[in-house]
């Protein structure tokens, strides 16, 4: 299950970012996942819950923002959804395009530190 290795990488990176920010407890992490990144959000969420134990993210929630895959057609300056499975064909001029604008993202966009204990 490759989501587990991705979740582990996200947790390690978020843990580093949180510590660099001077916090060792994280409430939530937001990641952007492109439609073509090859990650199943539900599986990632499950893997996150397994992998977070014993880290600064032990109590953290995972928010997944899904990014639709969009390709660009230069000749008609048109951005179009490639869908899933991806189909790189401009719907306006009926020609192939392989210029992917978005859809391969796999990145942390936000970390929410846990509130200090009262
Ligand atoms: Zn076109």
CB 25 within 8 A of CB 96: no
- In the chain, the domains with their CATH numbers are 1-66+103-118 (3.30.2320.50), 69-102 (no CATH)
Pairing between β-strand 26-34 and β-strand 61-67 as defined by DSSP bridges? parallel
CA of 28 to the centre of ligand 1 (A): 40
41 marked among binding-site residues? no
Check residue 33 and report its DSSP letter: E
Helix (H, G, I), strand (E, B) or coil at 72: strand
* pLDDT tens per residue, range 8-33: 999 999 999 999 989 889 999 999 99
Q: What is the dihedral of CA 87, 88, 94, 96, to 10 degrees?
A: -140
Res 83: pLDDT: 87
- Examine the pLDDT at 1 and tell me if it is beyond 70: no
* pLDDT tens per residue, range 58-68: 999 999 999 99
CA of 103 to the centre of ligand 1 (A): 19
2 marked among binding-site residues? yes
76 marked among binding-site residues? yes
């Amino acid at each position: 299950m490759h989501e587990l290795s991705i979740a582990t990488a996200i947790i390690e990176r978020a843990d580093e970012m949180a510590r660099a920010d001077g916090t060792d407890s994280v409430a939530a992490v937001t990641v952007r996942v492109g439609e073509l990144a090859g990650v199943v959000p539900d599986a990632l969420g499950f893997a996150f819950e397994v992998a977070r134990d014993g880290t600064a993210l032990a109590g953290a929630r995972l928010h997944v923002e899904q990014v639709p895959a969009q390709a660009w057609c230069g000749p008609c300056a048109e951005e179009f959804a490639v869908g899933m499975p991806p189909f790189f064909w401009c719907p306006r001029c009926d020609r192939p395009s392989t210029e992917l604008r978005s859809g391969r993202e796999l990145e942390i966009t936000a970390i929410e530190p846990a509130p200090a204990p009262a």
